[in-house]
Chain A
Amino acid sequence: MSTPAIRIEHLTKDFRLGLRGVKLRAVDDLSFEVADNQVLGLLGPNGSGKSTTMKVILGLLEPTLGKCEIFGMRSDSVAARRLVGYLPESPYFYRFLTGRELVAYYAGICGITRAEKPKRVAEVLELVGLTAAADRRVGTYSKGMLQRIGLAQAIVHDPRLVILDEPTAGVDPIGSQAISELIRELKRRGKTVLLCSHLLAQVEDVCDHLVILNQGRLVAQGPVEELLRREDLCNLAVENFAPAMRAEIEAVLARHGARLRRVDPARVTLDRLFLEKVGTKEQQDKGTA
């Protein structure tokens, strides 16, 4: 069995508050693993310990108890951080740099050589769809563009693990869809992604595993399909359904000991409707090209 991308064992993190040092437990005995090439959604309400957990994974905070490893290495080691790319929530970058300069700066920090830097920077800017705006100052970028340049700096050194904290916060549905597509692309390229988002539809759409926290504790974890499945219910999608058929269907179901609970007209999601009407990022780019 391969080494998990992230292994957290009995992680507890306390913060001391005020002069009297009152203890606040942000994370309480948390244990979970993220397998290599998995897209894991880390969910929980505000104050549930998601950000603290992420900071421990990134080596920015030291656990009070327990341990955290990235590909078998201590998460606070420099070697482990070489394998990680991170997009913080509402990222703010050096406004006086252009997008290209910013990504090149982080590429240099991550050890990409001067010779390969321009090519690598151009590649990731292309991947996040910012080639046209690469030579504009970051200070002039929109919220969505900031998220995308944040993604570019997170993946510029080709990390094995990408941690995304609210990557779609404040981004319109087109931008959000583009980020979802990028997450899928990262998975196709063999990366592991840890996604923290309040946009549950997106998490459901792109993640294959979930970890749900509440008040610093683990309340659920497992594959998305398993967690969302209701063993006792199933949906049938019927074309050309007429109300008169309902009695016959109910009779057939009753013969087999089943019961028809509900007949609803099928609906598309609002996201899908919006994208159908407005077009995806790709279609928009083609339209403006």
Chain B
Amino acid sequence: MIPALQHIGFIGRLTFLEAVRQRFFNFLVLLALALIGCAGFFRQFDFGPQELAFTANFGLGSMVFFGSILAVVVTAQLFFSELDNRTALTLLAKPVQRWAFIAGKLLGVAMLMLVFVVLLTTLLGAYLWWRQGQFIALWHLAHLAGSVDTELPESMRVHFDGLAINALLQWLKFVVLGSITMVVASFANTNMYTVAVSFFIYLICQLQYIALEAYQTVDSAVVGSLVWVLSFIFPNFQLYSVGEMLVFTSKNPVPPGAVWAAIGYSVVYIAVFYGLAVFSFLSREI
């Protein structure tokens, strides 16, 4: 294998191992799992089949909320732990390229976020599957008794393939967010500064579409061009907010090809932010 790829693999694996042993990761995972697990509480409200959509939204929301915190905080922490403890000094004194070091760190974060997303999606999927089964059984009984229509209501149709696609999209979003954090960390002096600035950028990315909509109506060519440029600098995180549409397709189906476009969009941003992080880190004195 090419030595640089080997280095990325070694650093990525160690970064992942370090991350899963952090209390912060375990705390957030447990909290997110507990929240999804608590979704059973909604049964108390007797939403009927709408409970599935409510639970799905709640679970997906937990994933986005805790995943975003995790992606920013853990990326910053893993990067600065190498610098503050001077393990980066030992590592970079070996035949390791700086770009391989950044790639390895990012790979470790990506692996961590994958575990997080898979864990939460599996639990949410299992819960939805169990509740869906119960609703369908009740519907069958009612159907045999002739008290409901012949068609299974859409609200009882959970699309588990959509749930898996959503997991993939959320994972990509977290990796994009991790790579944004890596860019900030590559020139920042402290962990706190990195976390604060990255969350600020996250907010911009999350609200980017509002600014776009507002400024697109402005007649000024200069402002229009500026907004156009800015819309390229900050990725639009609203593109990833399609969980409900993917899990309950009837409501507002995702257009064909949109998922592939989102994957491509993510890959391009990850590559660009990775490049920026490397460019900045190359000249950093450690």
Binding site for B on A (CB under 8 A): 15, 58-61, 78-79, 81-82, 84, 86, 88, 91-94, 96-97, 105-106, 108-111, 150, 153, 163
Q: A86-B90, A92-B85, A105-B10 are in contact. Are A61 and B95 (CB under 8 A)?
A: no
Q: A81-B95, A96-B17 are in contact. Are A60 and B89 (CB under 8 A)?
A: yes
User: Of B11, B18, B95, which is in contact with the most chain A CB atoms at under 10 Å from its CB?
Assistant: B95
Contact A88–B89 (Cβ < 8 Å): yes
User: Of B85, B89, B96, which is in contact with the most chain A CB atoms at under 10 Å from its CB?
Assistant: B89
How far, in angstroms, from A286 to B191 measured CA to CA in the complex?
47
How far, in angstroms, from A105 to B9 measured CA to CA in the complex?
11
Contact A110–B95 (Cβ < 8 Å): yes
Contact B6–A108 (Cβ < 8 Å): yes
Q: How many residues on chain B are close to A (CB under 8 Å)?
A: 23
Contact B94–A88 (Cβ < 8 Å): no
Q: A78-B95, A108-B10 are in contact. Are A88 and B90 (CB under 8 A)?
A: yes
Chain B residues 1-50 with CB under 8 Å of chain A are 3, 6-7, 10-11, 14, 17-18, 21
User: Of A15, A78, A84, A163, which is in contact with the most chain B CB atoms at under 10 Å from its CB?
Assistant: A78
How far, in angstroms, from A111 to B10 measured CA to CA in the complex?
11
Contact A88–B86 (Cβ < 8 Å): yes
Q: A60-B286, A61-B285 are in contact. Are A153 and B90 (CB under 8 A)?
A: yes
**Chain B residues within an 8 Å CB radius of A88:** 86, 89-90, 93
Enumerate the 7 nearest inter-chain pairs by beta-carbon distance, A residue then B residue, closest first: A86-B93, A92-B85, A58-B93, A81-B95, A78-B95, A82-B95, A109-B94
Contact A105–B89 (Cβ < 8 Å): no
Question: Is B92 on the interface with A (CB-CB < 8 A)?
Answer: yes
**Chain B residues within an 8 Å CB radius of A86:** 90, 93-94
Question: Is B238 on the interface with A (CB-CB < 8 A)?
Answer: no
Contact A106–B92 (Cβ < 8 Å): no
- How far does the Cβ of B45 sit from chain A's closest Cβ, in whole Å? 44
Contact A59–B91 (Cβ < 8 Å): no
16 CB contacts below 8 A, A to B, read A60-B92, A60-B93, A78-B95, A81-B94, A84-B93, A86-B90, A86-B94, A88-B86, A92-B85, A93-B90, A96-B18, A106-B94, A108-B10, A109-B10, A111-B95, A150-B90
Besides A59-B93, A109-B7, 10 other A-B contacts (C-beta < 8 A): A59-B92, A60-B93, A81-B93, A81-B95, A84-B93, A92-B86, A105-B14, A109-B11, A109-B94, A109-B95
Task: Point out the residue from A94, A110, A111, A150 that lies within 8 Å of B14, measured CB to CB.
Answer: A94
**Chain B residues within an 8 Å CB radius of A60:** 89, 92-93, 285-286
How far, in angstroms, from A22 to B92 measured CA to CA in the complex?
27
Task: Point out the residue from A15, A93, A110 that lies within 8 Å of B285, measured CB to CB.
Answer: A15
Chain B residues 86-132 with CB under 8 Å of chain A are 86-87, 89-97
Q: Which residue of A lies closest to B92 (CB)?
A: A60
**Chain A residues within an 8 Å CB radius of B21:** 96
Q: Which residue of B lies closest to A81 (CB)?
A: B95
How far, in angstroms, from A92 to B97 measured CA to CA in the complex?
21
How far, in angstroms, from A194 to B93 measured CA to CA in the complex?
14
Q: A15-B285, A61-B285, A94-B14 are in contact. Are A78 and B97 (CB under 8 A)?
A: yes
Q: Which residue of B lies closest to A80 (CB)?
A: B95
Q: A108-B10, A109-B7, A111-B3 are in contact. Are A94 and B93 (CB under 8 A)?
A: no
**Chain B residues within an 8 Å CB radius of A106:** 90, 94
Q: Which residue of B lies closest to A58 (CB)?
A: B93
Q: Which residue of B lies closest to A61 (CB)?
A: B285
**Chain A residues within an 8 Å CB radius of B14:** 94, 97, 105
Contact A109–B91 (Cβ < 8 Å): yes
How far, in angstroms, from A108 to B1 measured CA to CA in the complex?
12
User: Of B3, B11, B14, B87, which is in contact with the most chain A CB atoms at under 10 Å from its CB?
Assistant: B14
Task: Point out the residue from A82, A84, A93, A110 that lies within 8 Å of B87, measured CB to CB.
Answer: A93
How far, in angstroms, from A176 to B221 measured CA to CA in the complex?
72
How far, in angstroms, from A62 to B10 measured CA to CA in the complex?
26
Contact B89–A110 (Cβ < 8 Å): no
How far, in angstroms, from A152 to B20 measured CA to CA in the complex?
27
**Chain B residues within an 8 Å CB radius of A96:** 17-18, 21
**Chain A residues within an 8 Å CB radius of B10:** 105, 108-109
**Chain B residues within an 8 Å CB radius of A110:** 94-95
How far, in angstroms, from A94 to B87 measured CA to CA in the complex?
8
How far, in angstroms, from A80 to B11 measured CA to CA in the complex?
21
**Chain A residues within an 8 Å CB radius of B87:** 92-94
How far, in angstroms, from A61 to B89 measured CA to CA in the complex?
11
Q: Which residue of B lies closest to A150 (CB)?
A: B90
**Chain A residues within an 8 Å CB radius of B96:** 78, 81, 109
User: Of B6, B21, B90, B286, which is in contact with the most chain A CB atoms at under 10 Å from its CB?
Assistant: B90
